[in-house]
Amino acid sequence: MSLSFSIARRLYGHRAEGHRMSRPAVTIAMWGVAVGLAVMILSVCIILGFKGEIREKVIGFGGHVEVINYRSLYSAEAQPVVIDELLMHRLSRLDGVTHVQRFATKTGMLKTDEAFKGIVLRGLSEEYDTTFLAAHLLEGHLPQLADTTTANQIVVSSLMAQELNLKVGEKVYAYFFSENVKARRFLITGIYETHLREFDNTLVFTDLFGTQKLNGWETDQCSGAEIRVADFNRVEEYAFDIAQVMNRTQDRDGNTYSTHSIKELYPGIFSWLSLLDTNVYVILILMILLSIFTMTAGLLILILERTSFIAVMKSLGATNSQIRHIFLHFAAMLIGRGLVIGNILGIGLALLQKYGAVVHLDPATYYVDAVPIQFSWPLIIVLNIATLLLTTLVLTIPSHLVSRIQPARVMRFD
């Protein structure tokens, strides 16, 4: 153990015996670090939670990657493409692919005696992963999913239910327009809510076979296939690999396959989520600057009020470097204590929000009904280390004030 560290530890252990002014200054400096770190932890957890919540909702409606008919990109109605068992098996064997599921869509209109509403009927296949829909059901249950029969069951959103005054167990007429008008009477088996108005306002879920019949398609024709991959952070890479296999190939009817990642299908949403990172960077920079400012002010006050101590140390043969290290070790101990308090505050408040949902939001504006929280422990550790290193490093500048203190002049006045 170095002499500088030993003396700094004794100063830190007996800091209450210091001068009247230095005690509140040091306390304020320590709390500046604590509050700064707590705000940084909360900001990161909230932004990660918000981005994760919105991303999972969008993915729940469309998978990570979609393989569709190229003509669907330029058509108001989805165009059919053959997705048979052989192609699904081929897609499922590609590197990184974890699940493949078919879907079909048909635009139409729900109508009651009092009102009507435009919809997109989305037919789900038997192998469809319904975990997302089931998690967001408010009432009832999902429709029976079968590839060879239809029960004419649907799940509508809470927005539609309120607008058309629909309830679970009721029947409602739907009309679909192509060359002629097709009418269907559906049984409402469930009501879902995700707070994403872009989807809740239009999507109605039913079985695949019924949607294929409405479109006049064969049993192996769909609007496309949704593909889940192992790592969303590599979704563009996986989409490129799938495109290399599928793009510019044709089905038996001459329809060309086209591959798109979820980011390409909904660029506005994901661009908006990316902008949130800028807010995090601004908050992190401001909070680190706050920690640096308060610790610098505290260290300067401490040095100025310890001039007698510095003069005695110099008269005993201590070098400027040794004395600077004493104050830097002392500052590092204060920063360490501030980090401990900051972690307790930041993580504690984040846990309270995560499991208690204390702070609520307007879902019409923020797409969630409470502030979401997602922890990233490696990032929290990095925040702690970065705050400690940056603050201590910057404090080396004011610590050079020690070299300007002359023992003869100080002792003369004392």
Chain segment 127-138, per-residue pLDDT in tens: 999 999 999 999
Instruction: State the distance between the two ends of the chain, measured CA to CA, in whole angstroms.
Output: 32
Confidence of residue 306 (pLDDT cuts 50, 70, 90): low
What Cα–Cα distance (Å) separates residue 255 from each residue in 213, 220, 246, 250, 251?
A: 19, 13, 12, 5, 5
Single out the residue of 19, 39, 41 nearest to residue 31, CA to CA. Answer: 39
Q: How far is CA 31 from the centre of its chain?
A: 29
| pLDDT, position 102 | 95
- What's the chain's average pLDDT? 86
| pLDDT, position 327 | 74
H or E element at residue 209: helix 208-215
For residue 333, pLDDT beyond 50: yes
This model's pTM is above 0.85 = no
Please answer whether residues 195 and 360 qualify as being in contact, where contact means their C-beta atoms are separated by less than 8 angstroms: no
> Strand, helix or coil at 150?
coil
What Cα–Cα distance (Å) separates residue 3 from each residue in 85, 168, 311, 318, 326?
A: 75, 77, 17, 10, 8
| pLDDT, position 171 | 94
Single out the residue of 330, 338, 398 nearest to residue 6, CA to CA. Answer: 330
Q: How far is CA 12 from the centre of its chain?
A: 40
Single out the residue of 286, 318, 320 nearest to residue 401, CA to CA. Answer: 320
| pLDDT, position 378 | 93
The pLDDT tens digits of the residues spanning 139-171 come to 999 998 887 888 899 999 999 999 999 999 999
| pLDDT, position 19 | 47
Taking the C-alpha atoms of residue 371 and residue 366, their distance in angstroms, rounded to an integer, is 9
The pLDDT tens digits of the residues spanning 11-56 come to 666 554 444 445 677 788 788 888 889 999 998 999 999 888 888 8
The H-assigned helical ranges of 175-306 are 197-200, 208-215, 235-246, 262-265, 267-305
Percent of the chain with pLDDT over 70: 88
Taking the C-alpha atoms of residue 148 and residue 79, their distance in angstroms, rounded to an integer, is 21
Taking the C-alpha atoms of residue 144 and residue 124, their distance in angstroms, rounded to an integer, is 10
Please answer whether residues 257 and 81 qualify as being in contact, where contact means their C-beta atoms are separated by less than 8 angstroms: yes
The pLDDT tens digits of the residues spanning 342-395 come to 999 999 999 999 999 899 888 877 888 889 999 999 999 999 998 888 888 887
H or E element at residue 58: helix 22-62
Single out the residue of 309, 311, 315, 401 nearest to residue 7, CA to CA. Answer: 309
The Cα diameter of the chain in Å comes to 105
For residue 8, pLDDT beyond 70: no
The pLDDT tens digits of the residues spanning 168-216 come to 999 999 999 877 888 999 999 999 999 998 899 999 999 999 999 999 9
Tokens linked to 100: 């493949």
Single out the residue of 197, 203, 200 nearest to residue 362, CA to CA. Answer: 197
What Cα–Cα distance (Å) separates residue 213 from each residue in 109, 197, 358?
A: 17, 28, 48
